[in-house]
Amino acid sequence: MNRQISVYTDQLTRRFGKFVAVDGVSISVYRGEIFGFLGANGAGKTTLIRMLCGLLKPSGGEGSVAGFDIKEKSEQIKKRIGYMSQRFSLYADLTVTENIHFYGAIYGLAKEEIRQREEELVSQVGLDPYMNQMTKDLPLGIKQRLALGCAMLHNPPILFLDEPTSGVDPQARRGFWNLLYETVQTGKTIFVTTHYMDEAEYCHRVSIMDQGKIIEMGSPSQLKESHKKSTIQDVFIALVGGEKTDQKE
């Protein structure tokens, strides 16, 4: 059975002057898949995700997100994706409820739609006890859940998460990944960048990026088997080098 492609690139490239940040990346990411981009800081992950979200024009190559060309249809793409950055993009001086309502309005949802999505998401991501708290006073793991909820308010089919667990403790990170598994069960596609080696084990497929290029791609089990390693971290070290790992526990 043919699988529906959510994100596609062919030789996608981005240059900044003479520096090549993303160098000929070709991928196909499918509906209902968690696809991980693994790499050290500076490998090109964020630049790639910005191009796919319609925030940065490619220098070369092709790509589509939700069936829309990333060069020509960036506004259509933005309506069909949720984006969560490592900084969470929340308003610290608003309550949880106010952040949700603010982002609902930004996405163009009617008040009744916002209320309905709020009820669904608050339960889904576990925000019930925090609704009237100021966002600046929330634990980092709860801010993370709020940011994910805001990214999903308009019920997009594709989520782009750019190092969403950066700085979050291991227990909160594991709980967050449980939320991601529940989310893809509904048929959504999740594209996640990370430099945590252990998180790559949770993805359905993972690509390893170095100096703007994809140097390896496959399921975690495939990569470990083909390189005869017991962990993705060991695979990464073998391919890229130990000095570029950033394993934080």
Domain ranges of the chain: 1-80+159-167+191-244, 83-155
User: Residue 243: which pLDDT band, with cuts at 50, 70 and 90?
Assistant: low
Q: Choose the weakest-confidence range: 107-111, 183-187, 242-246.
A: 242-246
Residue range 146-160: mean pLDDT, rounded:
93
User: Residue 166: which pLDDT band, with cuts at 50, 70 and 90?
Assistant: confident
Task: Let me know: does 178 contact 148? Beta carbons within 8 Å.
Answer: no
**pLDDT at residue 5, rounded to an integer:** 95
- Rounded to 5 degrees, φ, ψ at 34 are -95, 115
pLDDT at 249 over 50: no
Domain 1-80+159-167+191-244 top-level CATH class = alpha beta
Axis crossing angle, helix 140-151 with helix 111-125, rounded to the nearest 10:
140
Q: What ranges make up the beta strands (E) of 86-125? A: none
pLDDT at 247 over 70: no
Q: Which residues of 92-128 are buried (b: 16+ CB within 10 A; e: fewer)?
A: eeebbeebbbbbbeebebeeeebeebbeebbebbbbe
